Structure 1
Amino acid sequence: MNADAEEAGRRLGLDERAQAWLDEAAAVEAPGGGPEVAPPSRAREALAPLGPARADEDAIAALWPDGSWPEELMWVVGRMYARLAGDLAEDRPQWRDWPVLVHSADARVRCAMPVALTAAVPLVLAEHARWGVPASVSAATLADVGRHLAQTRAMFGRVGLETAAWAALHFRCGLYELGRLQYEPNRVRTDAAVRWYAPQETLEPELARGAPVLRLHIPADGPLAPERVDASLARARGFFADCFGADYPIASCSSWLLDPQLAAYLPEASNILAFQRRFTLVEEDAPGDEDVFRFVFGMPAVDVDRAPRRSRLERAAVEHLRAGRHWRVRTGWLRL
């Protein structure tokens, strides 16, 4: 155990998971000697690329490091920055778990990750520029952090970033937002393709193990209007070919939105069902009740008694569970 990490974790009251992450991050070298955290007078300017809602901007700016933050908390910010910079420098960085600090009683601890992200913005923008990523794509991609700050506030009633691991994906150039959808360059990593609902001849070579695939994600950005989805999908393959010289003929998506059970509750003309019809589903699935409550209701856990029923989708989500059934996360693919 690194002594600095152990002391910081103890003084800040971090849980075992956060402590283990911090101990590992203690060994990472930060470029240029560490983060350059903006002074309080420039806090809002520093936060702007993250796209925070006004409530989150106000809260974080009011808590901004001003010399009163404990030394060990600033050390944690430095470790977060070092990890972000180290992952960005890797050729093929892997998904990495990050500590969830949203339950900390100290609001400054909950703001450590947003502060570290602001310090890392110049690194990400420089990397984007090196690859020729348009400034509009950079801006849209980084501003997704603001959605997750707002989601954290809605779910927990406090400032923070529960989804730090998700935000870190953007900051290691592992995801790009192109209009309505987001794309994560990846590869088919399992042999599950042999169980996909498609003729065997369509599975090679596009869907073979190791084949390039764009994992498609759906930000909380209003309705899934077909024309916006069309426009995004039409950009994806060309964007990655132009900027990175890589061809991604296939996109995949894993989401509760692909659960065919939704067809029993939604009208045929719904945007969600139109989105589903774009994909060929695979056989495997995963539990989806918690995802539905997180993304439909903004609730961190399943609670049918507290869930509102204002819309057709909200009513469907609750009625389905009350009938003894469960939602599933389904995976599908489409050609770009």
Structure 2
Amino acid sequence: MDADEVTRRLGLGEDARTWLAQAAELPSAGGPVLPPPSGARRALAPLGLEAADEDELVALWPDGSWPAELMWVVERMYARLAADLADDLAEWREWPVLVHAEDARVRCAMPVALAAAVPLVLAHHARRGVPASVSAATLADTGRHMAQTRAMFGRIGLETATWTALHFRGGLYELGRLQYEPDRIRDVDEMRWYGREQAAAMGAEFAWGAPALCLHIPADGPLEPARVQRSLARARGFFAACFGADYPVAVCSSWLLDPQLAEYLPETSNILAFQRRFTLVEGDAPGDADVFRFVFGLPDVDLDRAPRRTRLEKAAVEHLRAGHHWQVRTGWLRLP
């Protein structure tokens, strides 16, 4: 099929057209093999969906009524996942965001492709020696993001398509409370971790290009110090055993590392305890949108809609009403 024609018929945007044109050049990857609707729940189980998303996706599962153009989109998504997984790709690749499509089936194209790709991912993990529990936790993060999409937009879909695809191509692993993305020390989104001269003075493991794990924080309840410590203690050994590489350093870029939070939270706060593990580097990025996304589940900064039930929620709003702004900061730590 032609990406231009598919984009026109499905009412997709230019980003989707460009992505599909590139994916159209990939081999078919022999799939996807989708079960009939009666097997949809079993196929979706590894994604960890909440009941509302699972029920709606089962009801929308491809049953022969989906247009050929949309099934081609699913097939191209599956082929993209398979190709990236085969290349052992562990870097970002932008994916189209379809959450604004009026046809719910279009919004479900990627979750269907992800469900079809689960056997490929599990086989890849098995070859690496990834424990089944890690595989299960990693793939189940999909459910969190679909739930977040429903909360933010009031409809089924997967707004964080680019992020979720990383899980399905061997680019991220969830180890207890935290997630880890194999990477190398570099500039990230114009936020410099530290300059080359400072890196040289800190030691070889901090040099630009040295292996490092990007640390991510899933929406999985409080950042209890004991759970965080257990996760950090697992990371270095996990990647050494499964990938034959030593990652002595982890880096994190998050609004949770904004020192301004200390002005509002008690000294005993789990968030402040998490901050104290890191050495911050120079540079920051705007963080207001991240705070409203992760604290309030809102797609935009909207002070009038933000509840103020907890100390953190009150702080998030009061800080902005006082004319200040939140920041995304980057910090590093040595892994045990």
Could you tell me which residue of structure 1 aligns to residue 3 of structure 2? 5
Matches of 2:16 and 2:183 in 1, distance apart?
A: 27
Q: 1:89 Cα deviation (Å)?
A: 1.1
Written as runs of structure 1 = structure 2, the 5 A alignment for 1:89-108 is 89-108=86-105
Could you tell me which residue of structure 1 aligns to residue 176 of structure 2? 179
**Distance change (3 Å), C-alpha of 1:298 and 1:123:** same
Amino acid at match of 2:26: V
- Secondary structure of the structure 2 residue equivalent to 1:24: helix
CA deviation map 1:282-327 (0-9, x unaligned): 0111000000000000000100111111110000000000000000
1:74 equivalent in alignment to 2:71 = yes
On the 8 A contact 1:30/1:86 being kept in 2, the answer is: no
Amino acid at match of 2:168: F
Q: 1:194 Cα deviation (Å)?
A: 3.7
Which of residues 14, 36, 39 is equivalent to 1:39? 36
Written as runs of structure 1 = structure 2, the 5 A alignment for 1:234-249 is 234-249=233-248
Could you tell me which residue of structure 1 aligns to residue 331 of structure 2? 332
On the 8 A contact 2:194/2:282 being kept in 1, the answer is: no
On the 8 A contact 2:225/2:273 being kept in 1, the answer is: yes
**Distance change (3 Å), C-alpha of 1:253 and 1:193:** closer
On the 8 A contact 1:259/1:328 being kept in 2, the answer is: yes
Q: 1:201 Cα deviation (Å)?
A: 6.7
On the 8 A contact 1:193/1:203 being kept in 2, the answer is: no
1:208 equivalent in alignment to 2:213 = no
- Secondary structure of the structure 2 residue equivalent to 1:27: coil
1:26 equivalent in alignment to 2:29 = no
Could you tell me which residue of structure 2 aligns to residue 112 of structure 1? 109
Matches of 1:96 and 1:119 in 2, distance apart?
A: 19
Which of residues 46, 51, 54 is equivalent to 2:48? 51
Matches of 2:21 and 2:199 in 1, distance apart?
A: 47
Structure 1 window deviating more from structure 2 (303-312 vs 200-209): it is 200-209
Written as runs of structure 1 = structure 2, the 5 A alignment for 1:147-226 is 147-190=144-187, 192-195=192-195, 203-226=202-225
Matches of 1:44 and 1:194 in 2, distance apart?
A: 47
- Secondary structure of the structure 2 residue equivalent to 1:283: coil
Amino acid at match of 1:189: R
On the 8 A contact 1:256/1:292 being kept in 2, the answer is: yes
Written as runs of structure 1 = structure 2, the 5 A alignment for 1:238-277 is 238-277=237-276
CA deviation map 1:53-108 (0-9, x unaligned): 01100010010000000110000000000001011111444311101100000000
Which ranges of structure 2 fall in alignment gaps of 5 or more residues?
Answer: none
CA deviation map 1:8-53 (0-9, x unaligned): 1111000111111111111111222x21012100101000000000
Structure 1 window deviating more from structure 2 (239-248 vs 90-99): it is 90-99
On the 8 A contact 1:52/1:147 being kept in 2, the answer is: yes
Amino acid at match of 2:304: D
On the 8 A contact 1:297/1:308 being kept in 2, the answer is: yes
Amino acid at match of 2:246: D
On the 8 A contact 1:185/1:214 being kept in 2, the answer is: yes
Amino acid at match of 2:5: E
Which ranges of structure 1 fall in alignment gaps of 5 or more residues?
Answer: none
Structure 1 window deviating more from structure 2 (216-225 vs 87-96): it is 87-96
**Distance change (3 Å), C-alpha of 1:199 and 1:211:** closer
C-alpha RMSD over aligned residues: 1.5
- Secondary structure of the structure 2 residue equivalent to 1:284: coil
**Distance change (3 Å), C-alpha of 1:63 and 1:193:** closer
TM-score (structure 1 length as normaliser):
0.96
- Secondary structure of the structure 2 residue equivalent to 1:189: coil
Could you tell me which residue of structure 2 aligns to residue 141 of structure 1? 138
Matches of 1:31 and 1:103 in 2, distance apart?
A: 28
Amino acid at match of 2:106: V
TM-score (structure 2 length as normaliser):
0.96
On the 8 A contact 1:193/1:208 being kept in 2, the answer is: no
- Secondary structure of the structure 2 residue equivalent to 1:206: helix
Matches of 2:141 and 2:79 in 1, distance apart?
A: 21
Q: 1:203 Cα deviation (Å)?
A: 2.1
Could you tell me which residue of structure 2 aligns to residue 308 of structure 1? 307
CA deviation map 1:197-228 (0-9, x unaligned): x9767522111110000000000000000000
Could you tell me which residue of structure 2 aligns to residue 293 of structure 1? 292
On the 8 A contact 1:194/1:203 being kept in 2, the answer is: no
Matches of 1:91 and 1:44 in 2, distance apart?
A: 28
Matches of 1:9 and 1:193 in 2, distance apart?
A: 40
Aligned residues: 332
- Secondary structure of the structure 2 residue equivalent to 1:330: strand
